Structure 1
Amino acid sequence: MITNISLVTVYVTDQTAAKNWYVDVLGFVETADITMGDNGFRWVTVAHPDHRELEVTLMLPGPPLDADMAEAIRRSLAGGSHGSLGLTTQDCRKAYAELTAKGVEFVQPPAERPYGVETVFRDNSGNWLVLVEPKEFDPAAPMEEPCSEL
């Protein structure tokens, strides 16, 4: 049987720049950077240092996607509207301040939600990432309006 999710793909515009951003800004670790085959296909993965069982593949939009889908993903990245990862933190406001100091582009400051404190930011390829400080869900709790920039 399946035991866990081990790999997710995040499309990027430049694999080297993305790898450096995820390592230097978010504190992930490189888990693979391999060029394979005659076509120069590059397999680049990173992971959170405490959760190496879940690798993030930093993939250029291209094969096995058809040309139309690859172009659609490139347009989505360029527009800053391509969603990618949800991340967890113990202190959303502190993480927001630390990442802001590193030059991270936020599209939503930390906000109270029924499920925790949430902020949204973009990586250096235009993917948006959600960062949540979770709390026990209370369906009766009021919720702020969602960010219109998403």
Structure 2
Amino acid sequence: MKIAMVSVFVEDPVKAFKYYTEVLGFVEVMYSPENYLAIVKSPMEGNGTTLLLEPTEPDGIEIAKQYKKKLYEMGIPVISFSATDIYETAAELKKKGVRFKKDPVKTDYGCEAIFDDSNGNYIQLFQLNE
């Protein structure tokens, strides 16, 4: 088996779709705003894992709202994305207005940073040591 799709709970899938495509550079897989459906993927992986931007509003699942809110309050990222050059990627994202909670720092396994996805989530950006 391989991972086909993962979900990230977002407040507004239309707003999130715009952010994930226009700011983060993901590409559309499926987009149906009237059905609150947005699926994106990395342009770097042709048939790679897709990302479902799962709505918590309107009428979202209450436990999902609480889970998302608590993770954000605790500063815990909901998902991790990798970069081949984390410093360059972070600089490009900052130019596009992305707010970083944690700038890139070296760790035992490589480098990591954390940014806000403007939809109530923190995302980890990492680069493994080679």
The TM-score with structure 2 as length reference comes to 0.85
**Given the alignment, which residue of 84, 107, 110 partners 1:113?**
107
Rg (Cα) greater in structure: 1
One-letter code of the match for 2:14? T
- CA RMSD, Structure 1 to Structure 2 (Å): 2.5
Give the equivalent residue in structure 2 for 1:29.
27
Read off the aligned partner of 2:19 and give its amino acid letter: W
Measure the CA separation in 2 of the matches of 1:89 and 1:71: 29
Match status 1:56 vs 2:54: no
Matching residue's letter, 2:9? Y
Query: Which structure has greater helix proportion?
Result: 2
SS at match of 2:87: helix
Deviation at 1:12, TM superposition (A): 0.5
Verify the 8 A CA contact 1:77 1:125 in the aligned structure 2: no
SS in 2 for 1:46: strand
Gap runs ≥5 in structure 2:
none
Q: Structure 1 length normalisation: TM-score?
A: 0.74
Q: Which is worse superposed, 20-29 or 45-54?
A: 45-54
Against the structure 1 CA distance between its residues 6 and 41, is the aligned structure 2 distance closer, same or farther, given a 3 Å change threshold? same
- Match for residue 87 of structure 1 among 81, 87, 109: 81
Distance change (3 Å), C-alpha of 1:66 and 1:15: closer
Change in CA separation of 1:103 and 1:47 when aligned onto 2, cut-off 3 Å? same
